[in-house]
Amino acid sequence: MKKIYFLAAFVAISSIVLFLASCGTQANSASSGTGQSVQGVVASGAPIVGLVTLRDSSPVPVSEGIVSNADGSFSFNVDGLTPPFFLSAVWTDGTGTNELYSFADGSGITNINPISSAVFAAAAGLMSMSTLTCPPTPPVMRQVEDVYGLMLAVLRAKIAPLLDKYGAANDPVNGDYVADHTGLDALFDDVTITVYNGMIIVTNKQTGSIIFSAPVGDISSGTFNGGNMPGGGTAPVDGVALYATNCSVCHQALAASTVRGATASQIQAAIASVATMSALSNLSSLEIQAISSALSSSLSTTTPQLCPYTYTPWGDCQPNNTQSRILVSVPSITCNGGPILSQACVFSPVVY
């Protein structure tokens, strides 16, 4: 069995050497050593045993290839190599040949999974997963380096309800990861994340319905449909009630809120930066989104105008420090508020 495994590994690495040579890359077998390393797990639900390559950004790029372990783990010694690094994993299963990508700005943990792959494709400007026929050039890698972290953060924020549902708040690319069908790995079991025709698309594997979609160049404009999440989504969250409990004391009732129209990201930023809002840090991203939705809905609520009563002029200020006026006419339209016939004033006696 071991002979067959190592023979397969040798054939796989030999094939990548030929491929990278055709792309103008110097290909080496994985280097050994005890210095800096890039390590992680390649998985898409089940751990992936396949050919994993790392390519550096030196003027004549150097690539190394290894076969991932049975648990999907891999490790490259990167002493002497130039970051940032492009990583890819290639394997064959019942659906054919598959490939995932990732990006590392230096040594440390870098996982390869559907999220890392989709973000890399978007950062590199790929319109589809299948359009990367050769590893990216150093200039493209610099472009990816400038935006990868931001794009990953935005995507995580946009699909936060899905990540929360699976308890997958940890960084999917640079965080510790185990392919054991729990947490983030369970999410990959249940959904498909891909880039196709210029769109990042997250779909429910069981139903085929779209959970999230966004242009690769503008992830923040994407649309999330929680009702299409596996298991029918989560129980509805009452944003109106959450606002009343957590926000109305400082920002008035919802209909007259001073922060109507605030987005989920703006609310999250305020919780992180405003000391008086730090107590709301226990709210989940799903609850924050519900509050944002309530604030947006309140914008379309038509509040009747104040009633345009007609009065006589205010009378003289009396010794009891009040003055009054007389109601002349009542409007026939629907409006808010009753007539105001008296108000406070400061009495000043007339001295003769």
pLDDT in tens, 137-176: 888 888 889 999 999 999 999 999 999 988 888 899 999 8
| Same domain, yes or no: 153 and 87 | yes
Please indicate, yes or no, whether residues 167 and 267 belong to a single structural domain of this protein: no
Distance of CA 342 to the CA centre of its chain: 55
Q: Are residues 8 and 39 in the same domain?
A: yes
**Torsion on CA atoms 183, 189, 190, 191, rounded to nearest 10:** 100
pLDDT of residue 1: 41
Are 88 and 20 spatial neighbours (Cβ–Cβ below 8 Å)? no
What's the mean pLDDT in 47-74? 93
Shared domain check, 255 and 124: no
Q: What are phi and psi of 132, to 5 degrees?
A: -90, 90
DSSP lists the bridge partners of residue 62 as 26
pLDDT of residue 334: 63
Bridge-partner residues for 194, per DSSP?
201
Domain extent at residue 275: 239-299
**Cβ contact 228:204 at 8 Å:** yes
Q: How many domains does the chain have?
A: 3
Does 208 lie in the same domain as 100? yes
Domain final position from 176, 205, 232: 232
Residue 336 has pLDDT above 80, yes or no: no
Looking at 259, 274, 299, which one is the last position of a domain?
A: 299
Same domain, 227 and 322: no
Question: 24 or 36: which carries more pLDDT confidence?
Answer: 36
- Mark whether 182 and 271 lie in a shared domain: no
Q: What is the pLDDT of residue 314?
A: 87
274 lies in the same domain as 312: no
The pTM of the full predicted model, rounded to 2 decimals, is 0.60
Answer yes or no: do 69 and 131 share one domain: yes
